[in-house]
Structure 1
Amino acid sequence: MAEIVINNLRKEFGDFTAVQSSSFKIEDGEFFMLLGPSGCGKTTTLRMIAGLELPTSGEIYIDGEEVGRRPASERDIAFVFQMFALYPHMNVRRNISYPLVSQGMPRAEVRAKVAEVARILGIEGILDRPVGGLSGGDRQRVALGRAIVRSPKAFMMDEPLGALDAEFREHMAEELRALHDRMGATTVYVTHDQLEAMQMGDKIVVMNHGVIEQFGRPQDIYDKPATMFVADFIGSPSMNFLKFHGSVEAGATSVRMGDHAFGIPEMREPFDGDMVFGVRPEHIHLSDAGDFRGEVLAAEYLGTTQIVTVKTAGGRIKARVGSDRRVRMGDHVGIGFDAARVTLFDSQSGRALRSDLNEGVLAHG
């Protein structure tokens, strides 16, 4: 397995820049997620690491060697695609063994490796079946087996679960993460699904318009969003945003929005201008008291919790509260925020203003 280091990676297609000066490191054995909306540059980044695209500039190190200009065949990388890319005229056994046979490996060794991979993936019973009649989940296991059997330095996975239905995708995500933990493989995984990234990844890079918005552990990205884009993209429902104009001093622990003062984490730097007060739904509480109030517009019951939409003077907000909290449309409720979990943003740049909460956030532009 291998450490992968990306330095100032850039990819241009004519006048269009798909990836802009990206830098990050993937530790040996990490399950690393490239996350973002369609067209953000995540698949292009993956293809450059794998050698399927050559970078316009920048460096790619795999296991300490610079490979940015080497073809894919010289990088010892295995690729798993969304649409499986299996050979339809071959059965399962021949699909899995094909990379080894093409390398001229002795037949006995090929049989042993295929048997081992089939055992790991739980597909021993379908080795002699044609791939055309398999379910989507079994075909994805075969595609994984063909990648695993080579014992490459790293695995590249481009939305490998995207073609599966929602329920089975969740099951396969658990299996894939468990497989990774057993093998200790370095894995780079592309997805647009933030829940999948949070569930599976050791580290996440969040991309938007070819730029890395934030890089870090899932919990840090959720708790300490570096930009409004990250705060909005990660989480369901996403973070609430209340816009206002004001000023905060270095060391301030509260901020005024209109006639109301709200607690915030201690600010590291002063700021004056247009700001955004950001808070996640679970860090909002509703009460019968309080001078900051709003009108209940809707309540979405989710079992143990409910999402309550409230219209306030600063805009609509969504609060995640216990299902035992009785609310009805038209109710007027008091609204409070968990001061320690609030994030302030510069409205113009979208960047988080420095505080105890976001101190140390890894973000690259």
Structure 2
Amino acid sequence: MAEIVIRNLRKEFGEFTAVQSSSFKVEDGEFFMLLGPSGCGKTTTLRMIAGLELPTSGEIYIGGEEVGQRPASERDIAFVFQMFALYPHMNVRRNISYPLVSQGMPRAQVREKVAEVAKILGIEEILDRPVGGLSGGDRQRVALGRAIVREPKCFLMDEPLGALDAEFREHMSEELRKLHDRMGATTVYVTHDQLEAMQMGDKIVVMNHGVIEQFGTPQDIYDKPASLFVADFIGSPSMNFLRFHGSLEAGATEAVLSHQPLGIPALREPFDGDMVYGVRPEHVRLSDSAGYRGEIVAAEYLGTTQIVTLATPNGEVKARIASDQPARVGETVGLAFNGATATLFDNQTGRAIRSDLNEGVLSHG
């Protein structure tokens, strides 16, 4: 297996720029997620790593070798597609063994490797069955088997679970992560599902309009969003945004919204202008003693918790609270925020304003 290094990668299709000067590093053995909405450039980035698209500019290193202009056949990678791409006229065994047979590997060695992969994936009993009659989950396992059997430097996966139903998709995502851990493989995985990315990934690149918005661990991206886009895209429900205008000095630990001071991590530099106070729903409490007020407009019961939606002078707020806590629609209540976890954003640029929370990770401007 091998690390993957991307430097200033750019892809243009005529006048349209699909990927803009992207740079990141995938460590050897890492499960790495490319996350973003449709059209953000994540699949184009993956296809350039694979050699299915050649970059307009920039460099791609796999295992220390620059491969940006090499064809896919010279990159020693395995690509797993969303639609499986199996050979319908072959049974499971022949589908898995095809890459080895095409390389001229001896039959005995092919049989041994196919048996080994089938055991890893738990598909020994279906090796001689035609792929046409298999379930979606089994077909995806066969597609994975065909990729694994080659023992490539890295695996590239383009929404491989996207065609499965929700319940089985969750099960397969757990199985895929376990498989990755057993093999110690370097894997780059494209998805638009932020829950899938947070559950499976060691590191995540969040993309939007061809630009990398943020790169880091799932915890860093959730706790320390670098932009309004990331804060809104990650989390269910997403982060609350309260808009206000103010002037804050370096070292400030409070922001005043509707004449009420709310806690913030200490700012590293002064800021004056339109800002957004961002706080996650689980960091909002209903408190009779709090001066900042909101009217409850909805309550959604979720079993052990409930999501309460409130109208405030600075925008809508969602709070995740215990299901047995009283929350009556139409009632006006106090709201207390965990200021240590809040993030301030520049409303004009959408970027996080530097503070103790994100020092060394984010910058504003």
What's the TM-score, normalizing by structure 1?
A: 0.99
- Is the CA contact (8 Å cut-off) linking 2:351 and 2:363 kept in structure 1? no
Distance 1:278 1:221, change over 3 A: same
Q: Secondary structure at the match of 1:58?
A: strand
Structure 1 match to 2:328? 328
Structure 1 match to 2:49? 49
Q: CA deviation at 1:289?
A: 2.6
Structure 1 match to 2:105? 105
Structure 1 match to 2:245? 245
1:23-63, Cα deviation, whole Å (9 max, x unpaired): 00000000000000000000000000000000000000000
Distance 1:364 1:337, change over 3 A: closer
Structure 1 match to 2:256? 256
- Residues 1-365 of structure 1: matches in 2 within 5 Å? 1-361=1-361
Q: CA deviation at 1:236?
A: 0.2
Q: CA deviation at 1:357?
A: 0.7
Q: CA deviation at 1:288?
A: 2.2
- Is the CA contact (8 Å cut-off) linking 1:213 and 1:364 kept in structure 2? no
Once superposed, which parts of structure 1, at least 4 consecutive aligned residues long, lie more than 6 Å away?
A: none
Q: CA deviation at 1:348?
A: 0.4
Q: Secondary structure at the match of 1:6?
A: strand
Which whole-Å CA distance do the structure 2 matches of 1:148 and 1:77 have between them?
10
Which whole-Å CA distance do the structure 1 matches of 2:90 and 2:291 have between them?
70
Q: CA deviation at 1:318?
A: 0.3
Which whole-Å CA distance do the structure 2 matches of 1:14 and 1:293 have between them?
52
Which whole-Å CA distance do the structure 2 matches of 1:42 and 1:223 have between them?
23
Q: CA deviation at 1:324?
A: 1.6
Q: CA deviation at 1:295?
A: 0.9
Distance 1:204 1:364, change over 3 A: farther
- Structure 1 portions without partners, runs of 5+: none
- Is the CA contact (8 Å cut-off) linking 1:54 and 1:69 kept in structure 2? yes
- Is the CA contact (8 Å cut-off) linking 1:251 and 1:266 kept in structure 2? yes
Between the two proteins, the alignment pairs up a number of residues equal to: 365
- Is the CA contact (8 Å cut-off) linking 2:225 and 2:231 kept in structure 1? yes
1:157-215, Cα deviation, whole Å (9 max, x unpaired): 00000000000000000000000000000000000000000000000000000000000
Q: CA deviation at 1:123?
A: 0.1
Q: CA deviation at 1:313?
A: 1.2
Which whole-Å CA distance do the structure 2 matches of 1:304 and 1:219 have between them?
23
The letter for the 1-side match of 2:112 is: A
The letter for the 2-side match of 1:80 is: V
Kindly report the root-mean-square deviation, in angstroms, between the aligned alpha carbons of the 2 structures: 1.1
Q: Secondary structure at the match of 2:104?
A: coil
1:319-358, Cα deviation, whole Å (9 max, x unpaired): 0011121111111111010010110000000000000111
Q: Secondary structure at the match of 2:174?
A: helix
Distance 1:364 1:213, change over 3 A: farther
What's the TM-score, normalizing by structure 2?
A: 0.99
Q: CA deviation at 1:362?
A: 5.8
Which whole-Å CA distance do the structure 1 matches of 2:103 and 2:292 have between them?
70
Aligned-pair identity (%): 83
- Structure 2 portions without partners, runs of 5+: none
